[in-house]
Structure 1
Amino acid sequence: MTPAPSQTPAPRGGGGRHTADGSADPDRLVSSRYRGAPSTPMSSAVDLASRHPDSISFALGDPDLTTDAGVIDAAAADAKAGHTHYTDTYGDPELRRAILDFYAEEYSHERPLSDLLVTTSACHGMWLALESVLNDGDEVIIHEPYFTPYPHQIRLARGVPVALATYEHEEWQVSPERLEALITDRTRALVLNSPTNPTGACFSRETLDAIAEIACRHDLLVIADDIYPLYSYDEPHLPIVTLPGMAERTIVLGSFSKDYVMTGWRIGYAIAPPAIVRTMKDVNENAVFTAPAISQRAALHALRRRHEIQPPIKDLYAERMRYAWERVCATPRMSALRPKGSIYLWVNVTETGLPSAEVASRIFDEAHVLTIPGTAFGDSCEGYLRLAMTVSVERCAEAFDRIARMPLFS
């Protein structure tokens, strides 16, 4: 029997919700967790770039280089030879062994095969790690400025992000005193990113030792988002996992995206204690099951050829960073610390007297150069812009020539 109209249950998901003009709310079918949430400045930048055909984008950290042709050919040959199926749920055994051999060779850090999982990018690895170790309401400290997705990734795993500000006058190093002051009985982990996106800082041995001591004393996990080890310009990258007492409490997230210019292959890995790796593997079986087989083969060939592939990439980006930094320093009302790592410049524009979002908007409207305002990287980041050096020196020169003609910077 059909219920009377007054007794008809409302559709699930708030189907009866309407907007002010009486039309059905277009967001009514969207989870309340996401309803009305704005797009991130990163994704918005992609849409903006199409507004000006001559625009030069410093927005996204996607290297403009194409993956090494030999790697592409070898991966294609492997696909034709039958590598088109699911791999082992932990990842292609050859690739896993090659990654661990790399850590042994590069950092004298040896781990068993049970400590490694291949992931569908490091971003995916971050979600798997957080989902595997956080209880609802656990706090995760992230040093600010931070990679824009971190707070969202933590909330996806029902955690609580806690920002730890770093400062230019301290060369963007983590302060051990401020770090320890944020620790509560709900603190579960610290996310560590060095070389750092967006500041270009590399944490010193002194900073890493202090963080390690605090993590051990408070029994915290460290999630080391080691995405840019190739781009450590002053001295070799030092993974915190190699410090005393840290192997048993560190989750290393690695990626082939930047160090091997393989962003589109979406391949990364996690190194962690075996119980965490096993849990991440189990969670992953309910998401994508395994990383793409052909991408894993490409990563294997890239690793095997790294001594040939990587030096020219590093030299190219070091040249770009040096040139762009010099142009920033020569531009009125702009400044920046000399970058020690990564592929980003973190530019101080406080002398303009304008909010960073307005500065970025004016640079785009007047010079057709796309940047990301500092507020995308944390609440304490007003007054800065991030510039990704993913264009040639020639295009970079053109971008800064345009900026120099703006009244704001002339």
Structure 2
Amino acid sequence: MKHKFISKRYWNDISTPMGESGDLTRKYEDLINFSLGDPDYTTDERIIEAAFKDAKNGHTHYTDFLGDLELREEILKYYKTQYQYEVALEECMVTTSGCHAMWLVLESILDDGDEVIIHEPYFTPYPQQIRLARGVPVVLETYEEAGFEVESQRLEKLITNRTKAIIINTPNNPTGTCFSKKTLEEIGKIAIKHDLLIIADDIYTAFSYAEPFIPITILKEMKERTITIGSFSKDYAMTGWRIGYVLAPSFIIETMKDVNENNVFTAPSISQRAAFHGLKLRDKVQPPMIEEYKNRIYYAYERISKIPNMSVLPPRGSLYMFINIKGTGLTSKEVVDRLLEEAHILVLPGNAFGNCGEGYIRIAVTVGVEKLKEAFDRIEKMDIFSLK
């Protein structure tokens, strides 16, 4: 809004459909909410109890500026065990969520006017996060016909002498795609050729259904130019704890630490302890949750495949389905509005994730199969999704 006491940077509205959806969650008592990727799982009781015990035992103070030492050591152990990938302690920093990590990274690496390439459809905050760090977002559209994967030739054409970094997000929010090893290798070759950084937003690593997840940082010659952002929000159902981390060359981590001293100083100590216990318990905590989300995704896929004027690619990863609704002849917003008013179902319009998302809607499968069934039963009764 325009006001003399508001920074001119924010005089033009920067609110997004994702942010605005919170106001609609109480509109109907029987609302089925597919809008936000907040797992319906409560954090595993064993994690809560262990973190509570640590708090009672004195873990209520500032931690090391780079994060709780035991947590950082456990993150390093995880990468060694899972990917046979060595990370030094000084190459790891704990952050107050993945979003905070992204801002810290961008603030630490960008000069005014530096360009950052993002593949569209993208996680809604990316463009504004880049602008907050005085960078310039450059959009690479991806398409359903190519599985929403990055096409290397079109990517390379966007590179200028101001390009500093490429953000990649796989498994992807909102499309659910998972980049193939070939795609990751091609992106890596372009980064090496043009001496660019890769910012890997690795938020949904546990939810890669078709193939095992591959972090781009483990590929040949990529460690020195990859900044990996991790989070406990989705992989451990810990959204409210607000805890994430960054793996990067030590000089970048050191700069992030200095920037963060003027921001939140350290991540919450109790949340860090919860993350530590989550990693220790991951073999017990994650498998049933992953299996449940996989069942939900495949159930939703089967239902969508049978509904006229709806289609979606076979599931590959994440908690999301990016549904093609072009057959309705309506815009994404028009379909979203009708789903809300006629079926009491809240979803997000595809163009909330960039212009090439027009003609799609995104659902998050953060409700059980019973609720999914009820939602699709309601959808099937709508005239825009009927053969009549």
Please indicate the TM-score interval, normalised by the length of the shorter structure: over 0.9
| d(CA) in 2 for partners of 1:115, 1:179 | 28
Q: Give the corresponding residue for 1:87.
A: 63
Q: Number of paired residues?
A: 386
| d(CA) in 2 for partners of 1:260, 1:288 | 23
Q: 1:60 aligns with which of 36, 41, 52?
A: 36
Q: Give the corresponding residue for 1:399.
A: 375
Equivalent positions of 1:4-403 (< 5 A) are 27-403=3-379
1:337-358 alpha-carbon deviations (Å, 9 max, x no partner): 0120000000000000111011
Among the aligned pairs, what percent are the same residue?
A: 58
* SS across alignment from 2:8: coil
| d(CA) in 2 for partners of 1:38, 1:366 | 28
One-letter code of the match for 1:406?
A: M
| d(CA) in 1 for partners of 2:366, 2:372 | 9
| d(CA) in 1 for partners of 2:168, 2:2 | 39
Task: Note the C-alpha offset of 1:51.
Answer: 1.1
| d(CA) in 2 for partners of 1:118, 1:184 | 32
* SS across alignment from 2:262: coil
Task: Note the C-alpha offset of 1:293.
Answer: 0.2
1:292-339 alpha-carbon deviations (Å, 9 max, x no partner): 000000000000000011000100000000001111111110000012
Q: Is the 8 A contact 1:95 1:299 kept in 2?
A: yes
| d(CA) in 1 for partners of 2:315, 2:262 | 40
Distance 1:251 1:357, change over 3 A: same
| d(CA) in 2 for partners of 1:26, 1:115 | 42
Task: Note the C-alpha offset of 1:28.
Answer: 2.4
| d(CA) in 2 for partners of 1:310, 1:242 | 23
1:212-235 alpha-carbon deviations (Å, 9 max, x no partner): 000001000000000001000012
Q: Is the 8 A contact 2:210 2:315 kept in 1?
A: no
One-letter code of the match for 2:309?
A: R
Gap regions ≥5 residues in structure 2: none
Task: Note the C-alpha offset of 1:39.
Answer: 1.7
Q: Is the 8 A contact 1:199 1:339 kept in 2?
A: no
Task: Note the C-alpha offset of 1:29.
Answer: 1.0
1:75-115 alpha-carbon deviations (Å, 9 max, x no partner): 00000000000000000000000000000000111011000
Q: Is the 8 A contact 1:196 1:342 kept in 2?
A: yes
One-letter code of the match for 2:8?
A: S
| d(CA) in 1 for partners of 2:350, 2:217 | 30
TM-score, normalised with respect to structure 1? 0.93
Task: Note the C-alpha offset of 1:38.
Answer: 4.1
Q: Give the corresponding residue for 1:3.
A: none
Q: Give the corresponding residue for 1:22.
A: none
Gap regions ≥5 residues in structure 1: 1-24
| d(CA) in 1 for partners of 2:142, 2:100 | 26
Q: Give the corresponding residue for 1:6.
A: none
| d(CA) in 2 for partners of 1:291, 1:371 | 32
One-letter code of the match for 1:276?
A: I
CA RMSD in angstroms comes to: 0.8
One-letter code of the match for 1:94?
A: E
Q: Give the corresponding residue for 1:4.
A: none
TM-score, normalised with respect to structure 2? 0.99
1:229-280 alpha-carbon deviations (Å, 9 max, x no partner): 1000012100000001110000000000000000000000000000000000
| d(CA) in 1 for partners of 2:12, 2:86 | 47
1:342-394 alpha-carbon deviations (Å, 9 max, x no partner): 00000000000111011111111100000100110001111000000000110
Task: Note the C-alpha offset of 1:70.
Answer: 0.7
Q: Is the 8 A contact 1:27 1:36 kept in 2?
A: no
| d(CA) in 2 for partners of 1:395, 1:230 | 23
